[in-house]
Amino acid sequence: MTDATIIELEARRVRFFSPGDEEAFFEWLNKLHCVREYVGRSYVLHVSINKADVDEDALRELLALFHRYGVDMKQLCVFDCSDFAEWFRDSTAYWFDSVFGAQ
């Protein structure tokens, strides 16, 4: 068995508009099979991701979650690989500039 590559993503100062909104955020995180754990420290939520478990569905969910809650999407560029390049690098996609910057 090989060791999993764990990627730590950070959600800083996430703004929730109601208790239900906060609950929905964490429910979403809990549904992602690639999320190993998350821990809050001060104003930062540290989200540990098993990179080997990130498939197209998981990456699309991370993109949507980060977009909806205003989490820095640039850190998702760590998942840029040939498996996802065809759709992930689509310059017309809503996430492109937020992940890769204007090019």
In the chain, which ranges are E strands? 6-12, 35-41, 44-50
Instruction: Tell me how many domains the chain contains.
Output: 1
Q: Strand 44-50 to strand 35-41: parallel, antiparallel, or no bridges (unpaired)? A: antiparallel
CATH code (residue 58): 3.30.70
pTM score over 0.85: yes
Per-residue pLDDT tens for 52-63? Answer: 999 999 999 999
Cα–Cα distance, 14 to 45 (Å, whole number): 8
Q: Does 20 map to a domain?
A: yes
- Give the model's confidence band at 1: pLDDT under 50 very low, under 70 low, under 90 confident, else very high: very low
Q: Does 87 map to a domain?
A: yes
Per-residue pLDDT tens for 38-48? Answer: 999 999 999 99
- Domain interval for residue 79: 6-100
